[in-house]
Amino acid sequence: MEYKTKGIYPEDALRYFEDLTRIPHGSGNEAGIAQYLLDFAKEHGLWAKTDDIHNVYMKKPGSKGMEELPAVLLQGHTDMVCAKTEDSAHDFEKDPLTLIVDNGLLHADRTTLGADNGVAVALMLAMLARDDFPHPPIECLFTTQEETGLCGAQAADLSCFSANRLINLDGGPEGMVVAGSAGGLRMDFDLSPAYEPASGKILEIKVCGLLGGHSGTMIDKEHGNANKLMGRVLHGLPCAWNLVTLSGGSKDNAIPQECTAVIALPEADAGAAVSAVQKLEADFQTELQGSDPGVCVRISPAEADRMMSRADSDTMMKLLFLLPCGVMTRNLALNAVTTSMNVGTIATNADGIHLVCSLRSSSATELAYLADRLRMLGALLGLRVSDGAGYPAWGYTPVSPLRDLCAEVYQEQTGKELQMAAIHGGLECGLFKEKRPELDIVSMGPEADGAHTPDETLDLASFGRFYDFLKGVLVRLTEK
């Protein structure tokens, strides 16, 4: 089997990573990865098991003379966000990813790479496979459906593990240890519209060309949200119109790059509508020139058999126009985001229109306040509002021997100080801390950019340095 990263250090971990990219593993489709992991464990004589949600649990004894040392638990998730460019024909249900090595970066051909969080899986397998360095007992937890609500972490049974130290490998960037993360909540809005026969001119309006990004770690970059911009487009139409379909975004935890609305309007008003859309496109290009220079609004003829009532069309426009989005509050002392919201996905199906928002906060009270605002808005508009999956924040712990040990190893290897931060992204660590309060947890990872977008990359040199760092931490754990 040919590997794109052959000859690049660390070849063993990169080989495992490439194996993962050949197995479709979008959220909810992790059975193939689970079987791969179980086969790996059998090949290497390791204890392993899985559960109903395809989490995989694995253990390796300590190296000779280290068998009785306290264990360490390594953890990462096996699912990836499946996103691709408009011109990509990739099928995430069956196709392997096409990998490209370019100028020291690994990326996929017009799709997400899955470095989030395939790097964790690859690193764990590489450490488990090696027998040439001293290490304590290593326990590994491979969780599923992290990207769609941390479902695997919520279902995980930690009773088979003895470790009271956990290294989550879904952090980063290189040189930083994450010591806290935001909690979150998904909220759903539903409308069952009344329909009538379509009439007049049918137009498709598409907001596109936005950069998107992770709705937690990149929310402070102020990238445009295609769904919110569509609300402004529909609000700005200078005539009566009816909605046919509305769709936007790929994942609730990714800032949407595109949103498409098909509308019906009187033939006589089509010219004015086109002019209004063109004016709004120019406005967006001015407003977003620093964050999304490629933003555009396309308008083209379309066809339709039916359209939603004027009242229901107006309701959806008002929802998009009024929903809060982006950074809500900041912690000025830490110069960090406290609370944010992402208007993530919109879909039109046989049951009506379904919209999903992702709320994040490191403050439980601010998260509850934001959720109450959304419930009130939904009630005022006559929409059904429901809470989806939620997860707790991982609070900062001032005293952490594991964090101190990691800092020592990093200082010795690089001569630099390991930076510490709490992040606005959601991590599984909060759930593990809730299950086992005694856990001493850190989160780390190599340099990888563009998570949740087709621009996702893995810095190969950074991956190699982080591989050595993780190995160094495992060795140091035999000395403490």
* Known active-site residue 404: no
Decide if 426 contacts 391 (C-beta within 8 A): yes
Amino acid at 287: E
Q: Six-digit token pair at 403?
A: 């964090």
The answer for residues whose C-beta is within 8 angstroms of residue 476's C-beta and 6 or more apart is 405, 408, 409
Distance in angstroms (rounded) separating the CA atoms of residues 343 and 303:
27
* Number of Cβ within a 10 Å radius of residue 157: 12
Spot the catalytic one: 146, 147, 258, 312.
146
> 262 has which bridge partners?
204, 245
Q: Which residue has the tokens 């979008």?
A: 26
Beta strand pairing call for 105-108 and 213-214: unpaired
How does strand 165-168 pair with strand 254-255?
A: unpaired
Q: What is the CA radius of gyration of the chain?
A: 24
Instruction: Report the Cα 398 to chain-centroid distance in Å.
Output: 27
Q: Which residue has the tokens 């690049």?
A: 8
Name, in order, each residue with C-beta under 8 angstroms of 118's C-beta and a sequence gap of 6 or more.
17, 20, 21, 80
Of 18, 30, 79, 281, which is the active-site residue?
79
Q: Decide if 51 is catalytic.
A: no
Q: Give the C-alpha separation, 460 to 19, whole Å.
A: 16
CA angle 443, 446, 451 (to 5 degrees): 90
Which three-class secondary structure state does DSSP give residue 466?
helix
**Cα angle vertex 188, ends 184, 189, to 5°?**
145
DSSP code string of 292-312: -TT-EEEEEE---SEEE-HHH
Residue recorded with tokens 């990888």: 448
Residues in the chain, total: 480
* 179 touches 422 (CB < 8 A): yes
CA 100/CA 459 separation, integer angstroms: 12
Among all residues, which ones are annotated catalytic?
79, 146
